[in-house]
A and B are shown apart, each in its own frame.
Chain A
């Protein structure tokens, strides 16, 4: 390839000045391959010269492309003051066309200003204000959801039962194995820790309290919520986002379908139905793990003893403490997923970033709400 050989004999030039006219006589190869070497040379040389007009003599240029022409054309702009006019005095037609394209481009735009020092503060400010708008918009979305939900409840024929059932299967039934397995492991881990720790105090039987309280009150609801946030919330965002990108949402609006009614309400209701059931199954699975570990580790706790003690110490109120949180989690997850999905714009980039935001926000919100409930129940003495 001759293009590669171009590196050996780079372009060069001579400057001469007569009055207000600067003449640039160029030699050799002025192409993209030699541009890195040539970059900056002309601009430095002309920086202190004063001239109004630039003449180009290009008859000794063996190769010229847009990059080379651009570098040559810099002489027009980068003198002490920009030149008023320029001309190619010697050169062929193709070179003239290239030079005029390059000259228009250099004259046309200013160089980019460097980043100011306060840029970092500006970014922090933008991020902070974006956090607030996100919060406000999510709450507004929640409000709109409730008004539409209310309308759907008062006019039940508007409810899309088929969609809800299909979604319950996807969010609920399909997630049963993973949630039960996960809660089983968590329950087993807690039980093992408790068995070891409490046995050293001779209080092995309190392991039942530990497993019962932690799994029923906290772990099963929160593990389920986080799993659904990762599993279904991201799916909501990606589905709605892709629909938005392909203008399906716009088509729906034009046809006269309410996006909230068709897309958001069924998802939220499906999550609302699936979440308590999944949590309940998670609880059972966690307790089962506790029973199994108690029997295997051999701290003398038979399954019957375990269950009797569980019934004695962990009252029904603790079960409700665990369960009462689940509808809140369900709504939070569904709303955040749908809102982020509908906020997707045309680009692939925004679909990706919205999906990430969606999962992060959902998990963040679930844990925050859980903490609020913990404080609330403590104050209430439940």
Chain B
């Protein structure tokens, strides 16, 4: 696996907007999340460094989705701070907040495509809202994104209801990449895909990371994905990120859930597949 070899040159490319060398694209400190008396996260610390792919794992109900919503800004935490590119989210004015939001792309689990629009129009939505490009250029850029995520050209004119599950994910990814974000959130990107499709999707993420200088945070249950493309794995157990490190370090971490997760038969199979 040649995971980290391209990190250094790619960093000096594009380098749009905020200086990525200086600050982490995203950092959470001391996050407290609770619903009523039910504490979901307590003193949660988590940091993503530029140009890496981080996998976030945790048992069902551990609060992965809540954490992702918190990091995205869809939910305000009850305590703690979240910093994007070194800036505290709470201190940002509306304009800066919007600019930061444009640096983040999200692929929701089901794709979350707008069902009343074609795939091309879906991808054009962020472009139309946040840039002053001509209609023709927006259209062509949308087609380019469609091409980049590996969809056939005719897919642009289709409606989300005409697409298969895998195509919907690709189309959702194309929309999340519309504004060339630096930070990409993926919620279970390979769930519901067949193994061939899931592998292709993993390859796609890896390729896009190198081409677009992306930092990727993916919530996943897919052990194959973890072994194949993640630079680091963060484990959400006991209401906080217990460990976030390279896979071989995480595997040997002394925690019953982690041991069970990585020691199970599925994990061993994925591991041997990932190494071969």
Contacts and interface: CB of A to CB of B under 8 A. Distances in A.
Contacts of A104: 147
A63 B17 CA distance: 9
A72 to B, nearest CB: 12
A94 B15 CA distance: 11
A32 B134 contact: no
B140 A36 contact: no
Nearest to B127: A32
A94 B131 contact: no
B16 A348 contact: no
Interface residues of A, number: 40
A35 B14 contact: no
A299 interface: no
Given A3-B16, A64-B14, A97-B211, A106 B132 contact: no
B13 A64 contact: yes
Interface stretch (B73-81, B153-161, B223-231, B268-276): B153-161
A159 interface: no
Interface string A80-97: 000000000000111101
Interface string B205-224: 00100111100000000000
Interface string A58-71: 00000111110011
Contacts of A35: 131, 133, 137, 141
Residue from B18, B103, B160, B180 whose CB has the most chain A CB atoms within 10 Å: B180
A102 interface: yes
A111 B136 CA distance: 9
B241 interface: no
Interface stretch (B4-12, B55-63, B191-199): B4-12
A239 to B, nearest CB: 19
B6 A1 contact: no
A39 interface: yes
B144 A102 contact: yes
Contact of B14 (A94, A105, A108, A109): A94
A94 B115 contact: no
Given A2-B19, A36-B132, A94-B210, A65 B14 contact: yes
Interface in B102-141: 102-103, 115-116, 127, 131-134, 136-137, 139-141
Interface in A1-33: 1-4, 6, 31-33
Contact of B131 (A2, A4, A36, A66): A36
Interface string B93-106: 00010011011000
A106 B136 CA distance: 13
A101 B148 contact: yes
Contact of B139 (A3, A4, A112, A350): A112
B145 interface: yes
A101 B136 CA distance: 19
A32 B147 contact: no
A101 B180 CA distance: 14
Given A1-B99, A39-B137, A94-B213, A63 B16 contact: yes
Contact of A66 (B148, B159, B210): B148
A252 B17 CA distance: 54
A67 B143 CA distance: 11
A308 interface: no
Contact of A31 (B115, B180, B210): B180
A3 B211 contact: no
Interface in B7-47: 9-10, 12-19
Given A2-B19, A65-B180, A66-B145, A39 B133 contact: yes
Contacts of B247: none
Given A31-B180, A35-B137, A36-B131, A1 B18 contact: yes
B242 interface: no
Contacts of B153: 108-109
Contacts of B145: 66
A11 B127 CA distance: 19
A165 interface: no
Contacts of A119: none
A175 interface: no
Contacts of A2: 16-19
Contacts of A155: none
B66 interface: no
A109 B143 contact: yes
A111 to B, nearest CB: 8
A168 to B, nearest CB: 35
B179 interface: yes
B49 to A, nearest CB: 17
Contacts of A70: 140-141, 144
B17 A347 contact: no
A288 interface: no
Contacts of A64: 13-14
A349 B179 contact: no
Given A1-B96, A3-B99, A39-B137, A93 B6 contact: yes
A1 B143 CA distance: 28
Contact of B9 (A63, A92, A350): A92
A302 interface: no
5 contacts: A3-B16, A36-B132, A66-B141, A105-B148, A347-B115
Given A63-B15, A94-B12, A350-B161, 18 more contacts: A1-B17, A1-B96, A1-B99, A2-B18, A3-B102, A31-B14, A32-B180, A35-B131, A39-B134, A63-B16, A66-B144, A71-B137, A94-B13, A94-B213, A109-B153, A111-B140, A347-B116, A347-B161
Interface of A: 1-4, 6, 31-33, 35-36, 39-40, 63-67, 70-71, 92-95, 97-98, 101-102, 104-106, 108-109, 111-112, 345-350
Listed from nearest, the 3 A-B pairs whose CB atoms lie closest are A94-B13, A346-B161, A105-B144
